[in-house]
Amino acid sequence: MRRALFPGSFDPLTLGHYDIIKRGVTLFDELVIAIGVNAEKQYMFSLEDRIDFIKEAFKDEPKIKVTTYKGMTVDFCKKIDANFILRGLRNPADFEFEKAIAHTNRRLSEIETVFLLTSSGKSYISSSIVRDVIRNGGDYTGLVPDTVSVK
């Protein structure tokens, strides 16, 4: 089975993430979307909300599973028997950052990283930009799936 892990904080899930997931799921038998839990990080959305946003967005896709994890991504991949890590790239800076992580992961394990370029119309969207729009009372709805809502 070709199982891939798509890790992230998804704070919140954006249309960029959505794009990578929709395209990535076609490449694997199962795609596990894993929300990394970091007790030292301040999140805008609760872990439960982030899980709900993702589950609702992909409720009709049986090949997608949603979970959480702590610790190193490669260790979690081994735990769930994932042979691939899926990552999205928006720009050259993302590539340089992700390349270093991918090389480190390969040194630590046999897990391959698969990169997908975000579709051109979504490449400017990041979770930090969405959070900034929300904090400042802007219309964030064109940046996230319909399942994401601010309470």
Over residues 78-106, the pLDDT tens digits come to 999 999 999 999 988 889 999 999 999 99
Of the residues 2, 3, 9, 17, which is catalytic? 17
Is 90 considered catalytic here? yes
Total-model pTM = 0.94
Contact between residue 129 and residue 143 where contact means Cβ atoms under 8 Å apart: yes
Catalytic residue among 41, 107, 120, 151: 41
What is the domain partition of the chain in residue ranges?
3-135
Peptide bond into 7 cis (omega under 30): no
More confident residue, 151 or 120: 120
Q: Is 23 a catalytic residue?
A: no
Number of H helices, E strands in the chain: 5, 5
Q: Is 63 a catalytic residue?
A: no
For residue 30, the model assigns a pLDDT of 98
- For 111-144, the DSSP string reads PEEEEEEPPGGGTT--HHHHHHHHHTT---TTTS
**Per CATH, is 3-135 categorized as 3.40.50.620?**
yes
